Chains A and B, each alone.
Chain A
Amino acid sequence: MLAKRIIPCLDVKDGRVVKGVNFVNLRDAGDPVELAAIYDREGADELVFLDISASHEGRETMVEVVRQTAGEISIPFTVGGGIKHVDDMKRLLRAGADKIGINTAAVLNPTLISEGAEKFGCQCIVVAVDAKYNVEWQEWEVYTHGGRKPTGIRALEWVKRAEQLGAGEILLTSMDCDGTKNGFDLALTAAVSDALSIPVIASGGAGQVGHFHDVFTAGKADAGLAASIFHYKELTIAEVKIDLRDKGVEVRL
């Protein structure tokens, strides 16, 4: 049986990790390569790097970060943020990334999904979706540009389209739950998972060990992603996995 995956996410700007990371014995708390290696040792099943650089130089730096990380870790990792063309994907994959995350660019140009999937394989293309509940619709709406721009697109329709175009996975962030630490958005995650036959990575809202169990059972997610709770050591990956194992969920320990 496939193990449920626990995935820490690192925000990287101009080659440096932003949002504080609270690890002891770190030589350099801002070095994404060193942090990636630590998460690998601590039992992370995958990593996500989100490049929030605004400049061309920053993105170039990211390629170098990816190259060094690929040499240091022995788990798969995804790179997302600012990827607009198949050529961007190619450079990051060649540098050693395993998967490419696309969000706004995929909404603006959905053929980017199919182009990437055809060229590199579906398993490489992770479509990241930021969704927020729209009270009027009684359904979730897709937001782009880092959650700033509503699109008028229904999230459940978009994820199905993304799957048809060749997405290998959906990284689903609940904007309603993100940052609350009150748990993942189980209704959203389950609705998306039920609509698809590709894996769903749930993101946004993790605050306690039990939240991961909830998202893997009621939420029907295949993987759970979190950032600050791991960075600030509020939870360790091992704690989360032991709890899951004790509750009968298959994990890699």
Chain B
Amino acid sequence: MIAIVDYGMGNLHSVSKAVERLGYEALISGDAQQILSARGVILPGVGAFGDAMQHLRETGLDHTMHQVAASGKPLLGICLGMQLLFEQSEEHGVHQGLGLLGGQVVRFRGSYKVPHMGWNRLHNTQNSPLFENVEEGHVYFVHSYHAIVTDSTDLLATTDYYQSVTAIVGRKNVFGMQFHPEKSGETGLKLLANFLKHC
């Protein structure tokens, strides 16, 4: 069973359905025991960083995420869920994240359209089991803030939006995707399937 963490943020239904379509049982849950008993955990999220961390702390799920990461179980953060894996974000003030990966989440700055919204192409920066049989295709992004990783070995793929933008990160069993794999056609589903294969 794959646990999809429910902490009151975002559209969990689409992620859950995508997991089921790939042949896995999905459980949307905010219960620590259920999450810890899953084979793999997905931390989704749409909304603001500060609100999300507050929800996680109030429910104690921040601690649960640390337990999942320490257990060696595969953990995947999607969109805001990926950003939460980092140490800090500057979205509406400075907020501490889960700190499972080193880095900062900063706003896009420049005279171009923000949010970065739409289909953009992935560039893999190193090999990862996530990329097995997946070409560097287009995936669907919607975000106004992006992550700057401290340790470049955590960076697995980038995309170009007036600069190189963090698209996929991973360290050991902890992964993050800035785009929505559940909304990214075949490429997104393949990436998600490769994550699930390791669960």
Contacts and interface: CB of A to CB of B under 8 A. Distances in A.
Interface of A: 1-3, 5, 40, 45, 67, 70-71, 74-76, 93-96, 98, 120-123, 168-169, 197-199, 222-223, 252
Given A45-B119, A123-B117, A75 B140 contact: yes
Interface in B24-74: 46-48
A75 B183 contact: yes
Contacts of A120: 46
B173 interface: no
Contacts of A122: 115
A199 B161 CA distance: 14
Contacts of B186: 74
Given A222-B118, A252-B138, A197 B113 contact: yes
Contact of A1 (B48, B160, B184, B185): B160
Contacts of A95: 13
Contacts of B96: none
User: Can you list the 9 inter-chain pairs with the closest CB atoms, starting with the nearest?
Assistant: A252-B138, A3-B119, A71-B17, A252-B119, A123-B142, A2-B118, A96-B13, A76-B183, A70-B14
23 contacts: A1-B161, A2-B116, A2-B117, A2-B119, A2-B161, A3-B118, A3-B121, A5-B119, A40-B185, A45-B119, A71-B13, A71-B21, A74-B18, A74-B182, A74-B184, A75-B140, A76-B183, A96-B14, A120-B46, A121-B48, A123-B46, A222-B118, A252-B138
B185 A252 contact: yes
Nearest to A77: B183
Contact of A198 (B46, B47, B113, B188): B113
B189 interface: yes
B152 interface: no
Nearest to A253: B138
Nearest to A67: B13
B13 A252 contact: no
Interface residues on B, range: 20 to 34
Most chain B Cβ neighbours within 10 Å, of A2, A67, A93, A123: A2
B88 to A, nearest CB: 21
Contact of A74 (B11, B118, B183): B183
Contacts of B180: 76
Given A45-B118, A76-B180, 7 more contacts: A2-B119, A70-B17, A74-B188, A93-B11, A120-B46, A122-B115, A123-B142
Interface of B: 11, 13-14, 17-18, 20-21, 46-48, 113-121, 137-138, 140, 142, 160-161, 180, 182-186, 188-189
B46 A199 contact: no
Nearest to A223: B118
A120 B9 CA distance: 9
A170 B115 CA distance: 14
B18 A168 contact: no
Contacts of A2: 116-120, 161
Contacts of A45: 118-119
B11 A98 contact: yes
Contacts of A197: 113-114
Contacts of B121: 1, 3
B13 A94 contact: yes
Nearest to A123: B142
A252 B142 CA distance: 16
A95 B182 CA distance: 15
A252 B138 CA distance: 6
B187 to A, nearest CB: 9
Given A2-B161, A98-B183, A252-B137, A74 B189 contact: yes
A2 B189 CA distance: 20
A124 to B, nearest CB: 8
Which of A45, A67, A252 has most chain B Cβ within 10 Å? A252
